[in-house]
Amino acid sequence: MLTHVFLRSAITHTLYCLACLPPEDLLLSPVDHLLPLLKSCGSLLTATPSVGGLKKENVQLWLNIVAQAYALFYLILVCFEILYRYIIIIIIIIIFPPGSHDSFSFYIDESSPVGPEQTDAVQNFVSVFGTVAKKLMRKWLATQTMNFSSQLEAGVRFFDLRISTKPRDPDNELFFAHGLFSATVREGLEQISSFLSAHAREVVFLDFNHFYGVQNLHHEKLVSMLRDVFGEKLAPVVFAQEVSLQYLWEKEYQVLVFYHSPMALEVPFLWPGQMMPAPWANTTDPEKLIQFLQASVADRRRKGTFFVSQVVLTPKASTVMKGVASGLRETITER
């Protein structure tokens, strides 16, 4: 039993020495680490008197065991290094970063006006029932329970963004919107930028795919805002097949902006919307959704672009009517 204790002590000491090494030193050749580690472990063992049959003359045996443990540990590190080097050089269009649908909808404001994209029927419904109608709307429109910062911390790297102006707004402010208005665009972008500044190797994809009441002056304002908030983090447009994590890290690019508007043709860092297709199954049936996703992934891989797999169930009008007071989460997500 005491012999086992000594073995565990030697190996623990070895791992502790490795843990204290700077990350950049972990993958030097075995000899670079092995000799000082063996000397260190040798000092530990030779300083210990005979216990449970372990004498100083047995030190070489234990050093051999420690060396073997280190060799195994080093082999694991090498395997991780090979995997790491492979991942960063493969083109980013075949990596699957997680994303969120209507990413901004956590911020939907029940006191805001109805969005300009809504039908006359919805506008009339709200004009009659007021706040009650908006509270019901929010239950169906808010697809996210976390703000941008929390989503980023949870691993989300693709953001589905829909931009709108408010009617008769003298400031021409830009808002995120989905039925009702959400946070200002600048507020959301600054949260994302703060995360990126704190995590230099993280990359995000911003997909501006719907614009409501947005004219040329608003597009120009948004482009200026993107430059102001992200600056040198913005990746200029290149062929999708050229983009790998290694390329982005070397250039210190962290933001790819996809822009579904002709404005994308005028600005070097706006990637055309067709480079990020996002087909929509438009179904409440999980089986049909899976079939759709399988077919669309195979088709889009052949085209060699970025793409979005929308693993999203979409309520029909009849679905909403049946569960109008329950909301999206209870009616579809948690069923």
- Catalytic-role residue among 178, 210, 219, 260: 178
Measured between alpha carbons, how far is 131 from 146 in angstroms, rounded to an integer?
A: 23
Q: Which range, of 3-17, 83-97, 257-271, averages the lowest pLDDT?
A: 3-17
Computed over every residue of the chain, the mean pLDDT equals: 79
Determine the average pLDDT of the residues in 127-131.
Answer: 81
Determine the average pLDDT of the residues in 191-195.
Answer: 98
pLDDT value at position 10? Answer: 44
pLDDT value at position 173? Answer: 95
- For tokens 């005979």, name the residue: 50
Measured between alpha carbons, how far is 248 from 160 in angstroms, rounded to an integer?
A: 21
Catalytic residue status for 13? no
Bridge partners of 164, per DSSP, are 175, 212
- For tokens 């995120």, name the residue: 176
pLDDT value at position 66? Answer: 59
Q: Is residue 279 over pLDDT 70?
A: yes
**Pairing verdict, β 174-178 and 158-165:** antiparallel
List the chain domain ranges: 56-85, 100-274+318-332
Catalytic residue status for 199? no
- Catalytic-role residue among 4, 13, 33, 101: 101
Determine the average pLDDT of the residues in 62-72.
Answer: 62
The tokens describing 135, both together, are 């509270």
